[in-house]
């Protein structure tokens, strides 16, 4: 199964389209049960996702591959390592599948090389299987490919944002046998519902209308189009989706299995103010 499950909603009230707040623990268990039944076995989390890791550990996640991320690096290597070990405790795990540098700007710290060596040691000791980075721009991917050896990368990708195809970064990553996980395939829910967006998004109103017309002509729902567009990109190993209840996950799984004969075209909007949620002024 190419789908992976994001867990930020389990520990925080997250997402532009979220009107339900943090997912309750009982519903998290329902979601995990449904994921397991449908062979979704990768969970994406982080120590900064509120109490997400603690909730996952309390439910039990031994049947899943866990990808976590580092806390912000201020030059204190021991603090990063302590946080990683705390994550293991909260997750109730002896080891996890992957550990990513969460804030890509950490590489600018003069002690980063020393930190990265410590992450390599975690891998050598069997505490993690893969180390890597969470990124936001094609330029960051280019820099990482030039300067670091790593196993796993998380990138933004969706029908509006195919910069990594255009720039050749996905191909370069695959040539180096680096595992690629895509997040933001629904752009925090923007791609699923254009009716109730904050006024910030009026800048792209005409493009949104044109995109929805294109989707309508395909005969697919907005969910089916955005999801399957990403699933069809061969270089992407995992597509991370976040949900607020098991019914949403069921809808995504059903959409992922839909037989689609036609080509699904991108609708490129090369504007970082739309593509990067950290730049949204809302």
> Measured in whole angstroms, how far is the alpha carbon of residue 186 from the centre of its chain?
11
Q: If you average pLDDT over residues 76-93, what whole number do you get?
A: 97
Percent of the chain beyond pLDDT 90? 91
- Predicted local distance difference test score (pLDDT) of residue 12: 79
Q: If you average pLDDT over residues 212-237, what whole number do you get?
A: 97
> 13-62 pLDDT, tens per residue?
655 555 567 899 999 999 999 999 999 999 999 998 989 999 999 999 99
- Predicted local distance difference test score (pLDDT) of residue 95: 98
Its domain, for residue 80, covers 3-279
- Predicted local distance difference test score (pLDDT) of residue 13: 66
- Predicted local distance difference test score (pLDDT) of residue 59: 97
- Predicted local distance difference test score (pLDDT) of residue 11: 86
Q: If you average pLDDT over residues 94-109, what whole number do you get?
A: 96
Average pLDDT taken over every residue of the chain = 95
- Predicted local distance difference test score (pLDDT) of residue 17: 54
- Predicted local distance difference test score (pLDDT) of residue 92: 97
CATH assignment of the domain containing 11:
3.20.20.100
- Predicted local distance difference test score (pLDDT) of residue 159: 98
Q: If you average pLDDT over residues 223-241, what whole number do you get?
A: 98
Q: Indicate if the pLDDT at residue 173 is higher than 90.
A: yes
Q: Indicate if the pLDDT at residue 91 is higher than 80.
A: yes
| pLDDT band for position 139 (cuts 50, 70, 90) | very high
- Predicted local distance difference test score (pLDDT) of residue 282: 85
Q: Indicate if the pLDDT at residue 238 is higher than 90.
A: yes
- Predicted local distance difference test score (pLDDT) of residue 16: 53
Question: Total domain count for the chain?
Answer: 1
Q: Indicate if the pLDDT at residue 260 is higher than 60.
A: yes
> 184-203 pLDDT, tens per residue?
999 999 999 999 899 999 99
- Predicted local distance difference test score (pLDDT) of residue 22: 83
């Amino acid at each position: 199964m190419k789908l992976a499950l994001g867990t930020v909603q389990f520990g925080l009230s997250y997402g532009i389209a979220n009107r339900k707040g943090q997912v309750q623990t009982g519903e998290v268990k329902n979601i995990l049960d449904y994921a397991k039944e449908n062979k979704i076995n990768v969970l994406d989390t982080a120590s900064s996702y509120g109490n997400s890791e603690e909730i996952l550990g309390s439910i039990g996640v031994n049947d899943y591959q866990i990808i976590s991320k580092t806390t912000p690096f201020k030059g204190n290597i021991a603090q990063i390592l302590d946080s990683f070990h705390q994550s293991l405790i909260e997750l109730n795990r002896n080891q996890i599948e992957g550990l990513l540098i969460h804030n890509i700007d950490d590489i600018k710290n003069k002690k980063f090389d020393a930190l990265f060596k410590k992450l390599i040691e975690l891998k050598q000791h069997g505490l993690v299987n893969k180390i890597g980075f969470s990124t936001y721009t094609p330029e960051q991917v280019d820099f990482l490919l030039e300067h670091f050896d790593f196993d796993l990368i998380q990138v933004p990708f969706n029908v509006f944002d195919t910069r990594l195809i255009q720039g050749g970064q996905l191909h370069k990553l695959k040539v180096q046998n680096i595992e690629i996980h895509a997040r933001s395939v629904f752009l925090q829910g923007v791609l699923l519902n254009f009716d109730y967006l904050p006024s910030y998004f009026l800048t792209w109103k005409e493009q949104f209308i044109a995109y929805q017309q294109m989707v309508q002509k395909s005969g697919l729902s907005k969910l089916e189009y955005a999801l399957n567009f990403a699933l069809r990109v061969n270089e992407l190993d995992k597509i991370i989706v976040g949900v607020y209840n098991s019914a949403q996950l069921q809808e995504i799984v059903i959409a992922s299995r839909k037989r689609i004969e036609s080509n699904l075209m991108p609708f490129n909007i090369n504007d970082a103010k739309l593509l990067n949620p950290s730049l949204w002024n809302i």
